[in-house]
Amino acid sequence: MDSKKNKYLKEKAAEIRSLILDAVYYGGSGHPGGSLSSADIIAYLYFDKMNVSVENPHDPARDRFVLSKGHCCPALYAALALKGFIPVEDIKTFRHIDSYLQGHPDMKKVNGVDMSTGSLGQGFSAACGMAKAAKITGSKYRVYTIIGDGESEEGQIWEAAMFAAHYKLDNLTAFLDFNGLQIDGNIRDVMNPTPFDVKFQAFGWHVEIVDGHSFEEIDNAVKRSEGLGRPVMIICNTVKGKGVSFMENKHAWHGKAPKAAEYETAKKELDENLSKIRGEK
Amino acid sequence: MMADTATRVSYGRALANLGGKYDFVVMDADLSGSTHTCMFAEKFPERFINCGIAEGNMISVAAGIATTGMPVFASSFAMFAAGRAFEQVRNSVGYPHLNVKICATHAGVTVGEDGGSHQCCEDIAIMRSIPGMTVVCPADDTEAYAAIEAILKYDGPVYCRLGRHPVPVVFDPESYKFELGKAVPVFEGNDCVVFATGVMVSKAIEAYDILKSEGINISVVNIHTIKPLDTETIIKYAAKTKHVVTAEEHSVIGGLGSAVCEVLSENLPTRLARVGIQDVFGRSGKAGELLEYYGLTGEGIAKKVRTLLGVSK
């Protein structure tokens, strides 16, 4: 990846993070931790990898994205807003009674959302369905999905993992947002779903392990893993709450909104980071 | 007289015939020989997906396929399609109102020997509680075949309840017309109306004959679509007969009986009795024996009618 593209993606990710904060602050609730940890993966998909367009949002040939860990939709809404699928100012209506921006993604309400998700494990299966449909019809689109590490405690994740490998869904690329934390604490303490790499390998997947905040590593892994005849799992080592120092690696920030002072502090930090990125050569 | 046929067989036949005319996908969870989706699989293997024994995954995969514009039929036993995979049906299919047809066979006690663990008598109740879900329960071979074609042409989620046990063919395939959401009057009588669904339609017809010989004239109305319910026809017959009996191979809690009670208590309070499974689990036995055991017979319906009318045999 050239430095210009890298800088561009960093900028987009920073803008996404800023909008995540707006969403959960003005919404008064939501899930900042996992939204922030998955922001770079979503920035990469929407601003580099995926073939989607605002002009033709329902194009049958478009790539698909399923946010299986649907509670992290502030990151998805932010990307959709920055792409022009929804107005940026609507982000502040997140979770409000009169808003179409539901607490979890609703494909019937939000332009650009390919699948309604929220109940953990189900989006991963739906992504498999989209990939299988392309195999049946001979369509060339790819399907991308993000699952959570805590989400991987759901049995359905492994049913879908079996399905994708069995049907050789090499048009499916999944990202595992491995931030190590879930609502009740460290995933290893709550119900250890690790190791992920050997498990997905044993299920028949091609597995890559990357720094989930490095666009270069993500991009290299994605490119390496296409055309191998197997579904792809990119395990992304991430930091929960990434980009807001007081939220980082704190499971308490899984699902709560910042107070006014916290919001100001977080926005200041994110703004400074954005200015720094913009100043880079 | 046509041979008794299980509606699961009608389903398999319909899929295999319609598969040549329409573009759709069929899924199963390792029960294709029992649900009869195997008939489609043999003819159209490229559009058949076996998901193995993982019903929850099957329903969400079906939803994913449906987002691309292709209708999907997903089958398993009622216990697993509506029971185990309830939440996937609710959230992956119902919430986004996707074009998935959940065709569940082996509903009710006529599953037979497998016993209570496999006899789902709660599926109508749980499926009709999902917003936007259409719930269909065909009575015989003719109606099941027609229903499958109708739900294929309808764009939206459907739960279709099918049976394992062969049942009499009561409708003439030459003349029968199926319309989603439209009740089918079978007999006209002024003393009582029996609203029946699924296998109980042929039992209601038996009850008509039994009661006629005793001088009691009942109406029999086939309610093949439990949601959306044909409230107009239900109110019309309740007004005409003043006495209502419902008959279903399902729990009396939440099924057709409950649905009719809801309509009538809000619109036209009417004396009513429910024939169905009386809040108990099933048990092993032959299908016919179980129908007798639980009173799901022509005489069982006739008895309820007599009680309601205050007449003794």
pLDDT interval class at A141 (50, 70, 90) = very high
What is the per-residue pLDDT for B313? 80
Reported as a single tens digit per residue, the pLDDT across A196-245 is: 999 999 999 999 999 999 999 999 999 999 999 999 999 999 999 999 99
CATH number at B21 reads 3.40.50.970
Reported as a single tens digit per residue, the pLDDT across B155-195 is: 999 999 999 999 999 999 999 999 999 999 999 999 999 99
CA triple B19-B123-B153, angle to 5 deg: 30
The second-level CATH assignment, the architecture, of A3-278 is 3-Layer(aba) Sandwich (3.40)
B50/A contact by beta carbon, under 8 A: no
Q: Which residue of A has its CA nearest to B63?
A: A126
Residue B173 lies in a domain: no
B257 closest CA partner among B266, B265, B248? B248
Tally of domains in chain B:
2
Domain assignments of chain A as residue spans, ordered by start: 3-278
At residue A55, the 3 state secondary structure works out as coil
Q: Which of B161, B176, B206 is the C-terminal boundary of a domain?
A: B161
Residues of chain B above pLDDT 70, percent? 100
Same domain, residue pair B152 and B14 = yes
The tokens describing B81, both together, are: 């399609």
B100/A contact by beta carbon, under 8 A: no
Same domain, residue pair B280 and B144 = no
pLDDT interval class at A112 (50, 70, 90) = very high
Residue B178 lies in a domain: no
For the annotated catalytic residues of B, the residue numbers are: 55
Same domain, residue pair B189 and B151 = no
pLDDT interval class at A164 (50, 70, 90) = very high
Q: Which of B161, B196, B215 is the C-terminal boundary of a domain?
A: B161
Find out whether B35 and B12 touch, Cβ atoms under 8 Å.
Answer: yes
Using CA atoms, how far apart are residues A234 and A222, in angstroms rounded to an integer?
8
Reported as a single tens digit per residue, the pLDDT across B285-308 is: 999 999 999 999 999 999 999 999
Same domain, residue pair B11 and B135 = yes
Using CA atoms, how far apart are residues A161 and A177, in angstroms rounded to an integer?
16
Same domain, residue pair B28 and B150 = yes
Residue B298 lies in a domain: yes
Query: Which residue range forms the structural domain that includes residue B88?
Result: 7-161
Residue B1, pLDDT above cutoff 80: no
Residue B1 lies in a domain: no
User: Cβ of B69 and A60 within 8 Å?
Assistant: yes
Residue A71, pLDDT above cutoff 80: yes
Reported as a single tens digit per residue, the pLDDT across B38-59 is: 999 999 999 999 999 999 999 9
Same domain, residue pair B157 and B203 = no
What is the per-residue pLDDT for B151? 98
What is the per-residue pLDDT for A114? 98
Chain A residues whose beta carbon lies within 8 Å of the beta carbon of residue B63: 115, 122, 125-126, 129
Residues of chain B above pLDDT 90, percent? 99
Residue B167 lies in a domain: no
Continuous H helices in chain B: 7-18, 32-35, 38-43, 55-66, 78, 86-88, 123-128, 141-153, 200-212, 231-241, 256-267, 287-293, 298-309
Same domain, residue pair B45 and B118 = yes
Residue A281, pLDDT above cutoff 80: no
Same domain, residue pair B148 and B197 = no
Same domain, residue pair B238 and B278 = yes
Task: Give the number of C-alpha atoms closer than 13 A to the C-alpha of residue A185, restricted to the C-beta side.
Answer: 5
